[in-house]
A and B are shown apart, each in its own frame.
Chain A
Amino acid sequence: MEFLSYLISGISLGSVYAIIALGYTMVYGIAKMLNFAHGDVIMVGGYISFCGMMYLGLNGWVALLLAMAVCTVLGIIVEGLAYRPLRQATSLAVLITAIGVSYLLQNTALLVWGATPKVYQSLIPLTDASGAPNALRLMGGRLSISYMSLLTMAACIIIMVGLTLFTSRSKMGKAMRACSEDKDAARLMGINVNTTISVTFAIGSALAAVAGVLLCSFNPTLMPTTGSMPGIRAFTAAVFGGIGSIPGAFLGGLLIGVIEAMAKAYISTQLANSVVFAVLIVVLLVRPAGLLGKYVPEKV
């Protein structure tokens, strides 16, 4: 029973990592760049929804939509200003720019919102009107799964399936795959590469906003550095699953979350981080492209 509850907390944490990792992997797969500012877009998403709820009095779900809209615009602006001029530059230059954008976002947030932690109100309240936890109770109440965890898992699966369908079925998805394979050839075929990459960033940033709201619902303190550590975790997850692969990011996120929870529960809380990264090293030794990196015919 305890095992199940640890498994569930691992899966729900992993689902948040997976949603962030999906954003990383989308951008990497199509633009072939590591967008290290992704974690900070998550933080912006968290703050925007926080402001929506606290200062504008919006419903949590409306605030989520507002955060998604703002982050989408932010993603397009960042891509247009910082990354587009470097399209022909070396990948190292783009990487350094991304780190620069990350610091810019963090410090702008520090200026605007201050560094005092804000306490975020969970999307689904912790307890219902009578004070009992808002959770699904199974097996005679011995196993309880909070509705927030269920929502996160559902959101993660829906987003993964949606993205897979989008990239494999839609016209824009086809353009994305073409850009991913060869930008110059895609341009010759009449695909607008810049628009395609902008759309990729827009989708990635909207996902970041969703991840921000879910992340803050679990971890209710919001600070300008809130996004950076989950961002790095999720990047690890994306590499673990095979960067560029959408199902890979999903699997990588879930596995990292579950391994972390299990290591905390059954090995030692002190060693949990070491165990996660040791597993990562072993996997990369055996499969340098990540778990699903090789088996995806077209990298998306």
Chain B
Amino acid sequence: MKKALSLMLALVMVLALAACGGGTQPATTTQQPDSGSASTSTGSGTSTASASASGAFKFGASGPLTGDAAIYGKAVMNAAQIAVDEINAKGGIQIEFNPQDDEADGEKAVNAYNTLMDWGMQVMVGPVTTGSAIAASAVAYNDRTFCLTPSASSTDVTANKDNMFQLCFTDPNQGTGSADYIAANMAGHKIAVIYRNDDAYSQGIRDTFVKEAAAKGLQVVYEGTFTKDTQTDFSVQLGKAQSEGADLLYLPIYYQPASVILQQAKSMNYAPIFFGVDGMDGILTMEGFDTSLAEGVMLLTPFAADADNDMTKAFVAEYQKRYGETPNQFAADGYDVVYVLYNALTASGCTPDMSSAEICEKLIAEIQKTTYNGLTGENMTWSANGEVSKMPTAVVIKDGVYVSA
């Protein structure tokens, strides 16, 4: 009797919580592959890619569809789906696309990778974030699976792994790019840096930035740090930056702590120029975020949605039609990745009945000969160590949208 009562109470509690959620279901279900051919994995127990019966290449992808960095993963998968649908509509080579959630967590990324290999993945789009990519790349290297990550920017992702390639620029490149841009356009400013010192991404960009800034004679007056545990209160760091007279705040961090910094700076009446890097991308699409706080924020990104070329215009229009929002840089990266892979597969004469290891060797050779013009840059080329060559450009947020600076 007592037990039954306990059970009932537990049920009531769960239901009550569920009711509170209302319309805010996590959007994990929107990512199912909707390509016409059903994903029949034919239950083969082996983990090596078996030939696809439907005559289509199997593209697997892993990225955070839930969690702190979900905005990145969703953007990549949404845009990759657009590219896949466009390619399939052309006829000829067909692609099956299977996105998996890794919550930007290394361990889950390895699980996602294994799930995809069981499904029969031949080429991988991703992983989307650096930590996941480092973890999954070790397994992918041993399996000989070709990976092109849209956005994992650390050099550790590609180091000593000939099958890993990046579409985004590397962390050191972002630090250099920021220093170059500030030196060229805002040289007289006093700069403060707030970065997260327990995060390889943030620390990496800051290290190069500070070195390059010193070489270019920029004045860095204050450096403040925080960690994952202390990313809730920045009032002291901001107060210090303000009292040192900094009028440019460089933020090589992700958008979530950046949104806290913007709010706290506002409440302190401190209004320097905020300058972010690609991790700042996504801040405008946070639920409930007051976009007026981000007015005038500058960031470094290879993609501006207002760029005046046909490819960007068509992509932005399609993305807005499907998902109701303006695509960010990660979406553009995801779109480009699918086309780079498609072009390389076509050019190297790969067929859907080849194994993932055979495809991997062909693509490693092919991608180093490739020159690609995409949404995120002209004349992209790849070196043997997996880095892409293209240059970042700066945008500024005006009235809630990116405008070329």
Contact = CB atoms under 8 A, between A and B. Distances in A.
Interface of A: 2, 5-6, 9-10, 13, 44, 47-48, 51, 54-55, 70, 74, 77, 80-81, 108-121, 126-127, 132-135, 144, 146, 148, 215, 218-221, 223, 229-230, 261, 264-265, 269-270, 272-273
B268 A264 contact: no
A221 B260 contact: yes
A6 B25 CA distance: 40
Interface stretch (B160-168, B286-294, B299-307): B286-294
Given A114-B27, A270-B225, A108 B17 contact: yes
Closest 4 CB pairs of A and B: A114-B26, A119-B288, A219-B232, A112-B21
A273 to B, nearest CB: 7
Interface in B4-22: 6, 9-10, 13-14, 16-18, 20-22
Given A218-B233, A221-B259, 13 more contacts: A81-B6, A109-B17, A115-B103, A116-B26, A116-B27, A118-B288, A119-B287, A133-B268, A134-B267, A135-B269, A219-B233, A221-B256, A269-B237
A54 B103 CA distance: 26
Nearest to B237: A269
Interface in B258-292: 259-260, 263-264, 266-269, 286-290
B226 A269 contact: yes
Contacts of A108: 14, 17
Nearest to A271: B225
B240 interface: yes
B324 to A, nearest CB: 16
Nearest to B228: A229
A220 B263 contact: yes
B24 interface: yes
A127 B266 contact: yes
A148 to B, nearest CB: 8
Nearest to A10: B236
- Chain B interface: which size bin? 35 or more
7 contacts: A51-B21, A81-B9, A114-B27, A115-B103, A117-B286, A126-B263, A133-B268
A48 B20 CA distance: 7
A54 to B, nearest CB: 7
Interface stretch (B46-54, B64-72, B355-363): B64-72
Contacts of A117: 68, 256, 286-287
B217 interface: no
A9 B235 contact: yes
Given A119-B289, A126-B263, A265-B236, A273 B230 contact: yes
Nearest to A146: B267
A9 B233 contact: yes
Q: Which of A218, A269, A273 has the most chain B CB within a 10 Å cutoff?
A: A269
A269 B224 contact: yes
B239 A9 contact: yes
B236 A264 contact: yes
A6 B237 CA distance: 10
Contacts of B27: 114, 116
Contact of B17 (A112, A135, A270): A112
Given A114-B25, A230-B232, A119 B267 contact: no
A135 B267 contact: yes
Interface in B173-195: none
Given A261-B236, A270-B197, A80 B269 contact: no
B68 A133 contact: no
B227 interface: yes
Nearest to A223: B68
Contacts of B235: 9, 13, 261
A215 B233 CA distance: 10
B93 to A, nearest CB: 35
B308 interface: no
Contacts of B103: 115
B236 A6 contact: yes
Contacts of A133: 266-269
B322 to A, nearest CB: 19
B269 A144 contact: yes
B229 interface: yes
A98 B21 CA distance: 24
B243 interface: yes
A126 B267 contact: yes
Contact of B23 (A13, A55, A148): A55
B65 to A, nearest CB: 9
A176 to B, nearest CB: 24
A218 B235 CA distance: 10
B67 to A, nearest CB: 4
B71 A116 contact: yes
Contacts of A55: 22-24
A265 B225 CA distance: 11
A4 to B, nearest CB: 10
Contacts of B9: 77, 80-81
Nearest to B287: A118
Contacts of B227: 273
A91 B263 CA distance: 43
